[in-house]
Chains A and B, each alone.
Chain A
Amino acid sequence: MTDKDLEEIEIQLFLEGIYRHYGWDFRDYALSSLKRRIRACLQEEKVKTISGLQDKILHDPSGMERFLNAVSISVTGMFRDPGFFLALRKKVIPLFKELPFARIWDTGCGTGEEVYSLAITLHEENLNDRVRIYATDMNEEVLKKDQEGIFPLERMKEYTENYLRAGGTKDFSAYYSAKYENAIFRPAVKKEVVWSQHNLVTDASFNEFQLILCRNVMIYFNKALQERVHKLLYESLAPGGFLGLGSKESLKFTPCESCYEVVDGREEIYRRIP
């Protein structure tokens, strides 16, 4: 048996242990990126083996919190893929104007950049009284931070460019106030947002939505888990509801491919066939 084989066994035991003790289920995460994150934890926690990490995390809930942060946070930006937000503005949001009310689910919202981008877009399309955005993530700590709406000021130049390319019609700086090195977004921006803890891997749906964003979340899952989550998303969409994926994700090779029509192939926006 090689070191590599042994490591695989350790990873499986470790993930099984975390699931059985804490209920967090990472067993069907994509192994390649999960391994990198686990190895980074070994360094952080100053342990040599995954068995050592397992010992530490199973016996210390604060270790679990650190591990959760290490495996659940990804690095993104506001109006990432401006073309996606432009397509939402042109092809999806106009249809919401015909509805009395629209519910939107932003899954795995992480550090919140996408939620704020979405909320700003809806504001500018004058939908703010008739929509609610349900922003969910499995990590409660991250959700708390999201609600503060504080982002690094140094990134606002890049975000402003993205915002303009995404079809933004106003002065982006009007949405936040600058304080020291922070940009603090105005409370009015997030008025329609409800934050709540939800884990795509283990939790069921909780409503019916006209639009679901699940962007760059499933890239961390293996094929089997992706299929399960696709089923959950499909069942959570109202007939004729929209699904937005990350720009390098697609419904191709998934069992749900035939359940949707393509709204924008480049930006990965789909519509549930009723």
Chain B
Amino acid sequence: MTPRASRLRPKASYEIVVIGASKGGLQALKTVLSSLSSDFTLPVIVIQHRDKKADESLNELLQKVSALPVEDVEDKYPIRPGRVYVAPADYHLLVEKGSFALSLDEPVQHARPSIDVGFESAAEVYGRGVIGVILTGANEDGAKGLAAIKRQGGLAIVQEPKTAESPRMPEAAIAATEVDKILPLEEIGPFLVGVVKRGGG
């Protein structure tokens, strides 16, 4: 499948990046985050499936490769630009205007945090200001969420399944919506940087 010509917009119109990953996600996230330089201006929210007993060690691993500060999310914390936020284990992560909200509602697609839940709430609040990214994973979480982002006029990016440790999640996302870009893993970070830096559309 070839990527459709995307309708990229000036940087001012994008407000937030949400990234969903599951199996194989740690390596993929490291690759993406390591190419975001410290002057990246948007908040980056990471929803990675993991064991419900998981601690904050994922944040530490990501901080090692990220020029941006990687922060824990607590309920109602403000969302600030130029930071990476990681969804805590065993809560759904939702966003409100300018802050996070957590919930203990039923797992969705057997997952908590669920990528669908996080993406749908980002689409709802930030509308066309959302850039959604689906990376590697062995389930179909995130497909509905990415479709919601597209419906609200946001930008949908999916890791090229061939470059994914587990292709199922990217494949499901591609099947669920007309994505704007399908990119090899290494190109996702630089692409985000380009979109955000682009001044004139």
Secondary structure at chain B's binding surface: helix, strand, loop or mixed? mixed
Q: Using Cβ atoms and an 8 Å threshold, which residues of chain A touch B127?
A: 4
CB of B124 within 8 A of CB of A253, answer: no
Tally of A-B Cβ pairs under 8 angstroms:
67
Decide if B179 is an interface residue (CB 8 Å cutoff).
Answer: no
Render A225-265 as a binary contact track against B, CB cut-off 8 A, 1 for contact.
Answer: 01000000000000000000011111011000000000000
Decide if B76 is an interface residue (CB 8 Å cutoff).
Answer: yes
CB of B101 within 8 A of CB of A32, answer: yes
CB of A33 within 8 A of CB of B101, answer: yes
Q: Using Cβ atoms and an 8 Å threshold, which residues of chain A touch B44?
A: none
CB of B103 within 8 A of CB of A220, answer: yes
User: If the complex has contacts A37-B105, A219-B101, are A32 and B121 also in contact, measured as CB distance less than 8 A?
Assistant: yes
Decide if A130 is an interface residue (CB 8 Å cutoff).
Answer: no
Q: How many B residues face the partner with a CB closer than 8 A?
A: 28
CB of B74 within 8 A of CB of A252, answer: yes
CB of A32 within 8 A of CB of B95, answer: yes
CB of B124 within 8 A of CB of A32, answer: yes
Q: Which of B153-195 contact A (CB under 8 A)?
A: none
User: If the complex has contacts A249-B74, A249-B75, are A30 and B96 also in contact, measured as CB distance less than 8 A?
Assistant: yes
Q: Which of A23-50 contact B (CB under 8 A)?
A: 30-33, 35-37
Decide if A76 is an interface residue (CB 8 Å cutoff).
Answer: yes
CA distance A31 to B77 in the complex (A): 15
CA distance A133 to B46 in the complex (A): 39
Which among B99, B102, B124 is the interface contact of A248 at CB below 8 angstroms?
B102
Q: Using Cβ atoms and an 8 Å threshold, which residues of chain A touch B72?
A: 248
CA distance A36 to B127 in the complex (A): 16
Decide if B125 is an interface residue (CB 8 Å cutoff).
Answer: yes
CB of B74 within 8 A of CB of A36, answer: no
